[in-house]
Amino acid sequence: MVEIGKIVLDTGWLAARSTEVEVNGVELTTTRPPTQPESPWMEAVVPGTVLGTLVKNKLVPDPFYGLENESIIDIADSGREHYTFWFFTTFDCKLSNNQHVDLNFRAINYSAEVYLNGHKEVLPKGMFRRHSIDITDILHPDGQNLLAVLVYPPDHPGRIPPQGGQGGDHEIGKDVAAQYVEGWDWMTPIRDRNTGIWDEVSITVTGPVKIVDPHLASTFFDGYKRVYLHSTIELVNKSAWVAECSLNIQVSTELEENTFLI
């Protein structure tokens, strides 16, 4: 049984170029998972980008040294499939009765397909959005869970004009993504346009009721003497029965190390 809370999945990731992987997502997460970083699989940087993974594995030079970026093929010349990558990892998670678990991606650039133990979920476009999938019914109750993520680059990676320029040909502006990746007066073009699982991946285990996106705000009166804290939360009841909940909010401050005032 796991305790409630968050487990970050930031180790043990493998990656491979999608065109070099001959099996599909269902097979990867059921019968034919990669077992070690053998070609085409390599150790992956998660969170990070495809280019970060290629640099880590010394398959391309570090683009921020000298003019090394010039030797890395740009997505406009290679095609999007060159920087479309599989990411793969495993995790254990043994739930007890009435526990629920979500798989969370805090940001992916730009869209993805997620496979977990043979089940597929499409993560829609957008570099700056969170994704959360309830995987309670997909988890293997005993043993390893196999997770594969196929990450696609931005839809409009654009082309860098020979003379460079601010935001290249501006095509990246058609997507909801960082625009500096086509190059700017202070930055070389980023060859993969920052494609990747670029922020935290985690699973969160809860009981029947989950807290979502609390909002804290304060108001001030009488010259900051009288202050109120306002707190709003979303609650999701994942169970099939009415949940009688006791909600508790507590504000504490650390007076000195390990001494708290509540």
Q: Binding to another protein (CB under 8 A): which residues in 59-88? A: 63-64
Q: Which residues contact 135 (CB under 8 A, 6 or more apart)?
A: 101, 102, 103, 116, 203
Of the candidates 32, 35, 39, the residue with the CA atom closest to the CA atom of residue 16: 39
Q: Find the binder of another protein among 224, 256, 258, 259 (CB under 8 A).
A: 224
Q: Find the binder of another protein among 28, 42, 44, 55 (CB under 8 A).
A: 55
Q: State yes or no: residue 184 binds another protein (CB under 8 A).
A: yes
As measured in angstroms, the least distance from the Cβ of 58 to another protein is 14
Three-state DSSP at 149 gives strand
As measured in angstroms, the least distance from the Cβ of 153 to another protein is 14
Rg (alpha carbons) of the chain, rounded to whole number: 22
Distance CA 62, CA 69 (A): 7
Q: State yes or no: residue 228 binds another protein (CB under 8 A).
A: yes
What are residue 8's DSSP bridge partners? Answer: 202
Cβ pair 62, 68 in contact under 8 A: yes
Positions in 20-49 near another protein (CB under 8 A)? 45, 47-49
Half-sphere exposure at residue 122, Cβ-oriented, CA atoms within 13 angstroms: 2
Q: Identify which of residues 60 and 116 has a Cβ nearer to another protein in the complex.
A: 60
Distance CA 109, CA 88 (A): 16
Q: Identify which of residues 120 and 238 has a Cβ nearer to another protein in the complex.
A: 238
Cβ pair 235, 212 in contact under 8 A: yes
As measured in angstroms, the least distance from the Cβ of 73 to another protein is 16
Three-state DSSP at 186 gives coil
Interface mask toward another protein for 114-153; x: CB under 8 A: -----------xxxxxx-----------------------
Q: Identify which of residues 21 and 50 has a Cβ nearer to another protein in the complex.
A: 50
Q: Are strands 42-43 and 201-206 parallel, antiparallel or unpaired?
A: unpaired
Q: Find the binder of another protein among 11, 39, 252, 258 (CB under 8 A).
A: 252
As measured in angstroms, the least distance from the Cβ of 122 to another protein is 14
As measured in angstroms, the least distance from the Cβ of 37 to another protein is 19
Q: Find the binder of another protein among 67, 226, 257, 258 (CB under 8 A).
A: 226
Distance CA 125, CA 192 (A): 16
Q: How many residues bind another protein (CB under 8 A)?
A: 93
Positions in 232-251 near another protein (CB under 8 A)? 232-251
Please give the structure tokens belonging to residue 37.
Answer: 């970083």
Q: Which stretch binds another protein (CB under 8 A): 80-88, 113-121, 137-145, 181-189?
A: 181-189
